[in-house]
């Protein structure tokens, strides 16, 4: 009995509009730019576009600081441009999901402007205000008031999660930048405002929401200090998956989502499979989880570098492949606008650039769950070779790295640069590479962030002209995903979990079976098929090396560096 859903069968493409295509020459991508590339998306064959925020925003965190939820920022165009996009995508049978950022607003949102005015303002309780601590803690005093912040929670972007506001002499909570005050979800008026806004967008015809840091909405009574040293940031043990989170999400589902055939994908750091199942019960279609994107954190967490082996990556992914059962659904992704490029992080972006990009695409499209392609990954775009912090735009990188430098956490500037190159969110935010024109055809002006110098080789035009390119391979994978139900709904079974180089698994649905064999390494590796499929008649559904036309059964073979094969068992 398969629980079929359109969003389980879909391939989703993430458009980061700021860096996708600029039509007005101001160096920032815009909505008419996405409209211009709708045929490109259609040619690639994707079913859904997830659009990062384009709402009115001062841009402290590239649109994740929203000043008006119902307006399009001038930088991106107008509401009629947005409507043209929605209509154009729908004409091509492509759905549109929008980013929902409701843990916080911009400090320039009118609610916050009101809220900060006085303690008895009707919007005061839309946000989380507290008095500072009168007793100086070690390291204090912090604020201009001579007080310490209300508790010891830290911002993801570094420093205390609180800022002092002179106007009323209190502090407000911001888990991200100080220009991103957290909304107070305990206040029913806040929840109603958000639900109305969501409904407004759904009425316009969108097909769902990607929900930003959605498991952060509920903060515990009393906002206690954290003493969990393993938490992602100080306080995360309290503000992630907080006490009322399921009440809020199931309320949101009943009041809004349920009335539409909308998909929801929650961004949910720090959850396990059991928690994911309970979020699914609240009505969340699927979740972005991050275990696999923490493996390369070093001794000082995100801003230091550690190493990991393939068995750990397989373990992290297989946990989720096996862990959800009938309840819940995986969102499969290896990167997005917050992460380094997948090719540089999990592949080999040098000699085996094309091979490893294709292997990662194969993995993305053959694991169980809905695959998300981040713009440019279908070309094999890579990390940016940062030479200095001057090339960095991202608030997260700039703030964290500066603080770490002040604290002496880097031994020298070279170490700092190394970590920025590996980790900065800007790696994924460099302009989409369309052709070999200046600035890769992204803009006629000066781009807001530098273009990766490899655009001369890695670009849409060149790859569409080359039948062996990463782009054409992705194009084929999208078709494959559409044609093979076993790749969507089949069970996942992992073989040789401890093998250092091979990732081998089957997908099984009734009497249909596919076998995926990946050589995740720079050296050729002997593949001995698992006993259950060895010798079986099979066709190759996908392969990233082309000298294998004669394969008609699953036999022992040497897999070339980064070779990927998908067999369909007869």
Give me the active site residues, please.
212, 267
The answer to the question of residue 249 lying near ligand TEU (CB under 6 A) is no
What is the closest distance, in whole angstroms, from the C-beta atom of residue 202 to ligand TEU in the complex? 21
Residues from 551 through 570 that contact ligand TEU (CB under 6 A): none
Residue count, binding to ligand TEU (CB under 6 A) = 14
Shortest separation between residue 425's beta carbon and ligand TEU, angstroms: 5
Site membership for ligand TEU, residue 84 (CB under 6 A): no
Binding of ligand TEU at residue 271 (CB under 6 A)?
no
> 240: how many CB neighbours lie within 10 A of its CB?
23
108 binds ligand TEU (CB under 6 A): no
Site for ligand TEU in 382-441 (CB under 6 A): 396, 425
Q: Is 210 in the site for ligand TEU (CB under 6 A)?
A: no
CB 75 within 8 A of CB 39: no
Do the beta carbons of residue 126 and residue 183 sit within 8 Å?
yes
Is residue 176 within the footprint of ligand TEU (CB under 6 A)? Answer: yes
Q: How far apart are the first and last CA of the chain?
A: 22
Contact between 338 and ligand TEU by CB under 6 A: the answer reads yes
**Residue 199 burial (CB count, 10 A):** 15
Considering the complex, state which of residue 349 and residue 426 has its C-beta at the smaller distance from ligand TEU. 426
- Regarding 64 and contact with ligand TEU (CB under 6 A), the answer is yes
Phi, psi dihedral angles at 452 (to 5 degrees): -65, 130
Looking at the Cβ atoms of 338 and 418, the one nearer to ligand TEU is: 338
Find the part of the chain contacting ligand TEU (CB under 6 A) among 76-84, 146-154, 337-345, 509-517.
337-345
How many C-beta atoms lie closer than 10 Å to residue 52's C-beta? Answer: 23
333 contacts ligand TEU (rule: CB under 6 A): no
Contact pattern from residue 115 through residue 154 relative to ligand TEU, giving x for each residue in contact according to CB under 6 A and a dash for the rest? ----------------------------------------
Closest CA to 214 of 270, 174, 295: 270
Which residue in the set 269, 365, 404, 559 belongs to the binding site for ligand TEU (CB under 6 A)? 269
Under 8 Å between Cβ of 419 and 396: no
Strands (E), 126-262: 129-130, 162-165, 170-173, 208-211
CA–CA separation, 207 vs 97, rounded Å? 5
Instruction: Indicate which single residue of 47, 212, 377, 378 sits in contact with ligand TEU (rule: CB under 6 A).
Output: 212
Nearer Cβ to ligand TEU (61/165): 61
Q: Minimal CA–CA distance to 243: which of 160, 175, 186?
A: 186
Q: Report the b/e string of 269-293 with b at 16+ CB within 10 A.
A: bbbebebbbbbbebbbbbbbbbbbb
Residue nearest ligand TEU by beta-carbon distance: 338
Q: Give 275's Cβ-side CA count (13 Å radius).
A: 16
296 binds ligand TEU (CB under 6 A): no
Instruction: Report yes or no: 47 and 477 within 8 Å, Cβ to Cβ.
Output: no
Query: Which of the ranges 71-79, 106-114, 271-279, 333-341 carries the binding residues for ligand TEU, by CB under 6 A?
Result: 333-341
Using CB under 6 A as the binding rule, whether residue 503 contacts ligand TEU is answered as: no
Q: Where are the beta strands (DSSP E) in 150-292?
A: 162-165, 170-173, 208-211, 263-267, 286-288
Site for ligand TEU contains 30 (CB under 6 A)? no
Element of type H or E holding 256: none
Tell me phi and psi for residue 548, to 5 degrees: -130, 35
Residues listed for the chain: 570
Q: Which of 69, 76, 82, 156 binds ligand TEU (CB under 6 A)?
A: 156
Contact status: 173 vs ligand TEU (CB under 6 A) = no
Stretch that binds ligand TEU, among 254-262, 336-344, 519-527, 542-550 (CB under 6 A): 336-344
Q: Which of 381, 405, 358 is nearest to 565 (CA)?
A: 358
Cross-strand pairs, 372: 12
Dihedral of CA atoms 560, 562, 568, 570 in degrees, nearest 10, equals 20
CA–CA separation, 508 and 492 (whole Å):
7
Decide: is 101 part of the binding site for ligand TEU (CB under 6 A). yes
Contact set with ligand TEU (CB under 6 A): 61, 64, 101, 156, 176, 212-213, 267, 269, 337-339, 396, 425
């Amino acid at each position: 009995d398969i629980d079929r859903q359109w969003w389980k069968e879909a391939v989703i493409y993430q458009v980061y509009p700021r860096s996708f295509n600029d039509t007005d020459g101001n160096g920032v991508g815009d909505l008419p730019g996405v409209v211009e590339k709708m045929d490109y998306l259609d040619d690639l064959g994707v079913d859904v576009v997830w659009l990062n925020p384009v709402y009115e925003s001062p841009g402290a965190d590239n649109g994740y600081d929203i000043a008006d939820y119902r307006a399009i920022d001038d930088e991106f165009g107008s509401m009629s441009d947005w409507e043209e996009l929605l209509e154009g995508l729908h004409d091509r049978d492509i759905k549109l999901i929008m980013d929902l950022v409701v843990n916080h607003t911009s400090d320039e949102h009118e609610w916050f402007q009101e809220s900060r005015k006085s303690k008895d303002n009707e919007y005061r309780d839309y946000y989380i205000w507290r008095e500072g601590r009168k007793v100086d803690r070690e390291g204090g005093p912090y604020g201009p008031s001579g007080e310490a912040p209300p508790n010891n929670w830290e911002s993801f972007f570094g420093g205390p999660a609180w800022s002092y506001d002179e106007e009323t002499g209190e502090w407000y909570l911001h888990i991200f930048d100080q220009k991103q005050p957290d909304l107070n979800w305990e206040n029913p008026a806040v929840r109603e405002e958000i639900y109305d806004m969501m409904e407004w967008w759904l009425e316009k015809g969108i097909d769902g929401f990607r929900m930003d840091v959605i498991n952060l909405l509920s903060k515990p009574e009393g906002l206690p200090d954290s003493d969990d040293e393993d938490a992602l940031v100080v306080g995360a043990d309290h503000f992630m998956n907080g006490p009322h989170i399921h009440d809020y999400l199931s309320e949101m589902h009943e009041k809004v989502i349920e009335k539409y055939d909308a998909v929801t994908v929650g961004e949910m750091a720090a959850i396990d499979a059991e928690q994911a199942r309970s979020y699914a019960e609240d009505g969340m279609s699927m979740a972005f989880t991050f275990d696999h994107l923490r493996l390369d954190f070093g001794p000082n967490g995100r801003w230091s570098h550690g190493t990991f082996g393939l068995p750990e990556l397989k373990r992290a992914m297989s946990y989720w492949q096996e862990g959800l059962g009938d309840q819940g659904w995986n969102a499969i992704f290896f990167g997005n606008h917050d992460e380094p490029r997948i090719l540089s992080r999990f592949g080999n972006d040098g000699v085996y650039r094309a091979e490893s990009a294709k292997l990662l695409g194969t993995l993305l499209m053959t694991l169980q769950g809905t695959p998300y392609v981040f713009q440019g990954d279908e070309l094999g775009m890579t990390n940016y070779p940062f030479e200095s912090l001057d090339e960095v735009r991202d608030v997260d990188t700039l703030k964290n790295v500066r603080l770490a430098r002040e604290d002496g956490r880097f031994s020298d500037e070279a170490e700092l640069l190394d970590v920025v190159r590996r980790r900065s969110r800007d790696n994924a935010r460099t302009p989409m590479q369309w052709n070999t024109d200046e600035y890769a055809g992204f803009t006629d002006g000066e781009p807001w962030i530098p273009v990766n110098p490899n655009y001369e080789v890695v670009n849409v035009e060149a790859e569409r002209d080359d039948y062996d390119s990463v782009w054409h391979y992705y194009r084929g994978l999208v078709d494959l995903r559409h044609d093979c139900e076993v790749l969507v709904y089949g069970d996942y079974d992992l073989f040789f979990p401890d093998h250092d180089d091979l990732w081998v698994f089957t997908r099984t649905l009734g009497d249909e079976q596919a076998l995926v064999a990946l050589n995740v390494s720079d050296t050729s590796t002997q593949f001995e098929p698992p006993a259950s499929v060895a010798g079986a008649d099979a066709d190759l559904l996908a392969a990233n090396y082309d000298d294998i036309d004669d394969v008609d059964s699953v036999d022992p073979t040497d897999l070339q560096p980064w070779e990927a094969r998908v067999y369909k068992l007869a």
